[in-house]
């Protein structure tokens, strides 16, 4: 018996060798995939599990959605409006209805519940921009309120301030918005002492580690001395933001956990409800642009900083989630037809450890 280059038995007459058949199958599947007939595996489009919280504009009933490679789950929230995740995605805060004429009941808990009521008379709150499990709020609503912080069940710092809406909170201090035709932000240092009043809308801490403002909230036409965005530090006067182009209006900024990148949400037209997200480096240089971002801003970084999840709308207005891969600098988009297109996403989180 002579053994040649291959030990495989010859195929019977009229049959193809298994290797040939496998190659044909792979070729056909590849062609079908390219034509959109065969979908890629779900885990390719949803690399990390995400949670979304929002409400349908039709039913006005808060819902929690979890999107993973295995599908979409839905949970009704107990009348928790304006709900927002903390930095870890493991806590959720919102404002429940109240009999009080001024504000509602601020409640906190894990997304699956139960929720602990903290206090009444609250109209807004803000999670810490870097530290999980820490939030700030002003209560009660009125000309004078108390500046409060809460961290993992412990309430601290009650300082009387001029009333307003808690908008941003971080190690740098607090930004309390004063509503009106001209948007103003009262800035307080980390101890709660008043620092300065700035005319504008605070987007958060961006590249360069300073607060970024726009002249007004997205959608307003008023301008500030001919400029549309500016930076601010307590030590100086407002200045132009070097990494922004003319006409770009940042209204929300979220840093990756390791600080290597920032997600900068640019305002769009309220008529379409779409904006754009810039993925920037610490020096402000732009690495990627993610179009068709939903408004209000809804994005979250994974804990290791590799993925940025962004709520988007496709050309038909259906909700989808874009996953920007920092390591490969690629964007995958996962449709979520299980979530009605009428749902307005308030916030998004990546609760896992990856």
177, 178, 186: which is closest to 234 by C-alpha?
A: 186
Indicate whether 220 pLDDT > 80. Answer: no
Indicate whether 153 pLDDT > 90. Answer: no
pLDDT of residue 91: 95
pLDDT of residue 273: 64
Burial class (CB in 10 A: 0-12, 13-18, 19+), 174: buried
Q: What mean pLDDT do residues 256-281 have?
A: 85
Q: What mean pLDDT do residues 131-153 have?
A: 86
pLDDT of residue 155: 78
Strand 104-109 to 92-96 pairing: antiparallel
Cβ atoms within 10 Å, residue 224: 18
pTM of the model: 0.81
pLDDT digits (tens, 9 = 90+) for 174-196: 999 987 777 788 999 888 888 88
pLDDT of residue 23: 44
Task: Scan for tokens 């108390």, then name that residue.
Answer: 146
Indicate whether 274 pLDDT > 50. Answer: yes
Compute the chain's Rg from CA coordinates.
25
CB–CB of 116/109 below 8 Å? Answer: yes
Where is average pLDDT lowest: 17-21, 262-266, 306-310, 335-339? Answer: 17-21
Average pLDDT in the chain: 81
Q: Which residue has the higher pLDDT, 232 or 170?
A: 170
Indicate whether 13 pLDDT > 50. Answer: no
pLDDT of residue 272: 65
pLDDT of residue 141: 72
**Both structure tokens of 1:** 């018996």
CA dihedral angle for residue 28, residue 34, residue 39, residue 40, rounded to 10 degrees: 100
Q: What mean pLDDT do residues 243-266 have?
A: 89
Q: Which residues contact 315 (CB under 8 A, 6 or more apart)?
A: none
Q: What mean pLDDT do residues 76-98 have?
A: 91
Order the strands of the 134-139 sheet from edge to edge.
125-127, 134-139, 144-151, 154-162
Q: What mean pLDDT do residues 116-121 have?
A: 90
pLDDT band, residue 290 (cuts 50/70/90): very high
pLDDT of residue 201: 84
pLDDT of residue 237: 75
Strand 194-199 to 184-188 pairing: antiparallel
Indicate whether 98 pLDDT > 60. Answer: yes
73, 71, 75, 72: which is closest to 63 by C-alpha?
A: 75
Q: What mean pLDDT do residues 10-38 have?
A: 40
pLDDT of residue 152: 78
- What number of CA atoms fall less than 13 Å from residue 227's CA on the CB side? 17
142, 116, 220, 211: which is closest to 171 by C-alpha?
A: 211
């Amino acid at each position: 018996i002579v053994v040649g280059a291959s030990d495989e038995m010859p195929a019977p007459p009229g049959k193809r060798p298994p290797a040939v058949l496998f190659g044909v199958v792979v070729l056909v599947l590849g062609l079908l995939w390219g034509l959109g007939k065969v979908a890629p595996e779900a885990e390719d489009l949803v690399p990390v599990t995400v949670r979304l919280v929002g409400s349908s504009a039709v039913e006005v009933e808060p819902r929690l959605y979890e999107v993973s490679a295995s599908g979409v789950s839905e949970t009704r929230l107990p009348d928790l409006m304006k709900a927002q995740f903390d930095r870890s995605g493991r806590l959720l805060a919102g404002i429940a209805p109240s009999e009080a004429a001024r504000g509602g009941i601020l409640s906190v808990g894990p997304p699956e519940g139960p929720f602990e009521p903290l206090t009444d008379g609250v109209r807004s709150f803000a999670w810490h921009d870097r530290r999980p499990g820490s939030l700030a709020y002003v209560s009660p609503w009125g000309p004078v309120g108390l500046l409060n912080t809460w961290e993992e069940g412990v309430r601290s710092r009650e300082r009387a301030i001029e009333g307003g809406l808690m908008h941003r909170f971080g190690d740098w201090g607090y930004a309390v918005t004063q509503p009106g035709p001209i948007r103003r932000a009262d800035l307080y240092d980390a101890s709660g002492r008043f620092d300065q009043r700035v005319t504008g809308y605070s987007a958060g801490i961006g590249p360069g580690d300073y607060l970024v403002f726009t002249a007004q909230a997205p959608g307003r036409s008023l301008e500030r001395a001919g400029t549309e965005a500016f930076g601010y530090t307590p030590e100086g006067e407002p200045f132009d933001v070097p990494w922004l182009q003319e006409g770009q209006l940042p209204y929300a900024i979220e840093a990756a956990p390791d600080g290597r990148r920032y997600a900068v949400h640019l305002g769009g037209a309220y008529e379409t409800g779409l904006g754009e997200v810039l993925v920037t480096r610490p020096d402000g240089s732009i690495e990627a642009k993610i179009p068709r971002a939903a408004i209000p801003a809804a994005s979250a970084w994974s804990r290791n900083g590799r993925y940025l999840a962004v709520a988007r709308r496709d050309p038909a207005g259906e909700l989808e989630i874009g996953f920007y891969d920092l390591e490969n600098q690629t964007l995958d988009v996962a449709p979520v037809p299980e979530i009605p297109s009428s749902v307005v996403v308030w916030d998004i989180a990546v609760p896992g450890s990856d």
